[in-house]
Amino acid sequence: MNTLQTADYVVFVIYFLIIVGYGYYIYHKKKKNDSSRDFFLAEGSLTWWAIGASLIASNISAEHFIGMSGSGFALGLAISTYEWMAAATLILVAWLIIPLYLKNKVYTMPQFLAQRYDGSVSTVMAVFWLLVYVFVNLTSIIYLGALAISSISGISFEVAIIGLSLFAVVVTLGGMKVIGYTDVIQVLVLIVGGLITTYLALSLLSREFGFGNDIFKGLSVLKTEAAGHLHMIFDHSSAHYKELPGISVLIGGMLINNLAYWGCNQYIVQRALGADLKTARAGILFAAFLKLLVPLIAVLPGIVMYVLHKKGLFQQEMMGPLGEVKPDRAYPTLMNLLPAGLKGVAFAALTAAIVASLAGKANSISTIFSLDIYHKYFNKKASERSVVLVGRWAVIVSMLLAAIVTPALRSLDQAYQFIQEYVGFFSPGVLAIFMLGLFWKRTSTAAALTAAIFTIPISTVLKFLPIWTNGSFPDLPFLNRMEITFVLVVLMMVVISLAKPKTSSSAFVPPERSDFKVGTSFIVLSVIISGILAALYTVYW
């Protein structure tokens, strides 16, 4: 039934009041001043568990619950590689990248680019990030969230857009410390709610195959009825190879995608920039552990729905307006089966994921605009209070723009894969600029600026060359296109840097061997995470 009952509304209102009340409490308890560093980075206020929880809450959104479940329905467990390889990537970020940001007292990613290169590279990338965050990230999160909420609650799509946007604005205006600590509750709610939905899915599967409410029997049914959906690596003969091409999901385009997202992304890195190195590293490793759980609550329900649909259930619910199967309807269909009260918990979990991601994105937009655009170009003498005020207005304006654009996305099918592919148009260039800037001191400003300008054109050529050449050029999987683009951009940067050296900024303090030293606990936790990943890929290869 596509409506919420009284019990569901009660659960949701309790969740809403807890988030708003706790956010208000944190804002006043930990309020230091109106400094921009405190507002944007929660300087020294976030513990390791708050950093880790905030990383995951900001990352997990409707694109996971709805989009990733849809891809689980269509592709199977292999889509989990985005989550599990992210856990491995977070270890690299904590070990190699975060120390250099903290050493150089970096507030924003454009600030790093200004220190390492110059203002032109910084400004180009700042404007670019703002456009992508507002018109790709915010809009896609609001779209998938509103789609899910309207599918399970009876609330109209338009009202859902307005409600999500307003809720996110309320959380974001308190600054990073409010976002960070409320994210702890958001993560708890989304994991509990997600696990409840997964439990229901496995119980339903077990009952449909005559085993009662035994979730372990449900897992056994999955192994027999969806064997083809339980492989992590596709070979060339697979119909899904273009979406997840072989071992590129381990060492190729997936690594480029993850390093760019987790290591060079204001939206993510910002959570750790206000902490000391030990706290930041611990928080990132905590996020890596939480990442291992995401497929359990996001992908597994989609695979269950695939088996149930194959058995003849939910045929109408999974159909689009033209009679085609719509994978992204898998999770909302499953949530509609929850009893009153529990559906409210799942609804709160979904809302928590959406609002946390929106708040994180909006805060990053606010940070970049205020510090890298407004303060740098419009009012260099602005007071800390003025910068924070502009940041709050940037939150409101960006959310308004995204809400206006969101309805244009209603034609999407597998939204998760769509988002990943088109974000991949610029990720290789971003990663090249950052990695060479961090680890090769001869990288020049001219090289970075060239990479910033030519990355999207190169990606576009590789995307559409098969069409332009009438198929004489192979239609490459988008992860492989990312690999090729990354290699081409790196080669371009190396050649230009060698041809025109000594043009990079001296403000950046280069890395030293001591920057990468880690403690015993870091090594032990990293080995545990790596061991779990090795076991998962061995079992489900």
Other CB atoms closer than 10 Å to residue 298's CB: what's the count? 31
Are residues 171 and 23 in contact, defined by beta-carbon separation less than 8 angstroms?
yes
Furthest C-alpha separation in the chain: 72
Per-domain residue ranges for the chain?
Answer: 41-423+511-539, 424-510
pLDDT score, position 40: 64
> Which two structure tokens, joined as six digits, stand for 331?
């999770």
Topology at the third CATH level for domain 41-423+511-539: Sodium/glucose cotransporter (1.20.1730)
pLDDT score, position 327: 82
Burial class (CB in 10 A: 0-12, 13-18, 19+), 210: exposed
Rounded Cα distance, 369 and 341, in Å = 41
6 residue type, one letter: T
Residues forming beta bridges with residue 234, ordered by sequence position: 245
Give CB contacts under 8 A, 24+ apart, made by 506-514: 507/114, 507/115, 507/116, 508/104, 508/112, 508/115, 508/116, 508/437, 509/103, 509/104, 510/441, 511/99, 511/100, 511/103, 511/438, 511/439
pLDDT score, position 417: 58
| Tens-binned pLDDT, residue by residue, of the chain (541 aa) | 567 788 888 888 888 888 888 777 877 775 555 566 666 665 566 789 888 988 888 788 767 777 788 889 888 899 999 899 999 999 999 999 999 999 998 888 888 998 999 888 888 888 988 988 898 888 888 887 887 788 777 788 899 999 999 988 887 877 767 777 777 787 888 788 888 889 888 998 898 888 888 888 988 988 888 888 999 998 888 888 888 888 888 888 889 989 998 999 887 888 788 789 999 999 999 999 999 999 998 899 999 998 988 888 888 777 766 667 778 778 888 877 778 888 888 788 778 778 888 888 888 899 889 988 998 888 888 888 888 889 889 999 999 999 998 888 776 555 555 666 777 788 899 999 999 999 998 999 999 999 988 998 998 888 888 777 776 777 788 888 899 999 999 999 999 999 876 655 568 888 899 999 999 999 999 999 999 999 999 998 8
370 residue type, one letter: S
18 residue type, one letter: I
pLDDT score, position 36: 63
